[in-house]
């Protein structure tokens, strides 16, 4: 079974702090994704990566950056946390684009509260 | 712009009362339509991928179907453990692996 783990289930940070969210997958997947999920808005893509050191902006990249130094690990960075970044953050991974069965597998999520 | 609309927003069923959830979509060339189940406070769990109109997939009490404009998730004789939010997402042919999600249907099955 695919396993995607996230470093924290719950996190409370103060406005202006730099925040790191870590995600690790154990299926040797090429692709990794960061989403945020908010009531009434569904899941929205922040950033994704299709290879080590490669990254692409999603729909809402403002205020975030990412890092992928190893294939199995994808980090989301909030450079200066703000209250409007309070949300559930979900990491996902998937096989390469050429694989027909390229469904995304999600981690358990990190509930981030910025005060 | 690719778009997914799910209905109803919430559905309450008695145990054993079958029903269907709807996912309407517009996409510039469908590569795949995905169904996920999400329990409160957890990440989405993959259920099905459908690729072309007419395709059907089943898993236990769930059956997903696909037309050119919508997908249905049929729940037959549901049990309380089927209570969850069900998410639908589409992937376009041209969109790398980007998924566009609907806002989900919250299903509550009462004993």
Spatial separation of the C-alpha atoms in residues A35 and A41, rounded to whole Å:
12
Q: What is the tens place of the pLDDT at every residue in A22-81?
A: 999 999 999 999 999 999 899 999 999 999 989 999 999 999 999 999 999 999 999 999
Residues 1-30 on A with a CB inside 8 Å of B are: 4
Interface mutation vs chain A, best among B33, B44, B47, most A CBs within 10 Å: B44
The answer to whether residues B75 and B58 touch, using CB atoms and an 8 Å cutoff, is no
The strand ranges marked E within chain A are 4-6, 10-13, 19-25, 31-38, 42-49, 56-57, 64-70, 73-78, 87-94, 105-106, 110-114
Chain A CB contacts of B97 under 8 Å are 31, 33, 48, 50, 94, 97, 102, 104
Distance of CA A115 to the CA centre of its chain: 21
Q: What is the tens place of the pLDDT at every residue in B11-60?
A: 999 999 999 999 999 998 999 999 999 999 999 999 999 999 999 999 99
Query: Which pair of structure tokens corresponds to residue B5?
Result: 């609309």
């Amino acid at each position: 079974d695919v396993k995607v783990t996230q470093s924290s289930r719950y996190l409370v940070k103060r406005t202006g702090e730099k925040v790191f969210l870590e995600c690790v997958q154990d299926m040797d997947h090429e692709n990794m994704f960061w989403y945020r999920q908010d009531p009434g808005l569904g899941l929205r893509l922040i950033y994704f990566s299709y290879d080590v050191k490669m990254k692409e902006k999603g729909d809402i990249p403002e205020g975030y950056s990412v890092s992928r130094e190893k294939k199995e690990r994808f980090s989301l960075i909030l450079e200066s946390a703000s209250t409007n970044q309070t949300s559930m953050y979900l990491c996902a991974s998937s096989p390469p684009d050429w694989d027909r069965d390229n469904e995304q597998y999600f981690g358990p999520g990190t509930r981030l509260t910025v005060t | 712009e690719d778009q997914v609309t799910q209905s109803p927003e919430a559905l309450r069923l008695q145990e054993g009362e079958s029903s269907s959830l709807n996912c309407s979509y517009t996409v510039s060339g469908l590569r795949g339509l995905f169904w996920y189940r999400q329990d409160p406070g957890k990440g989405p769990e993959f259920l099905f991928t459908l690729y072309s109109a007419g395709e059907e997939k089943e898993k236990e009490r769930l059956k997903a179907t696909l037309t050119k404009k919508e997908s249905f998730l049929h729940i037959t004789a549901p049990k309380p453990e089927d209570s969850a939010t069900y998410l639908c997402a589409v992937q376009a042919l041209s969109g790398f692996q980007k998924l566009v999600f609907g806002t989900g249907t919250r299903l509550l099955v009462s004993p």
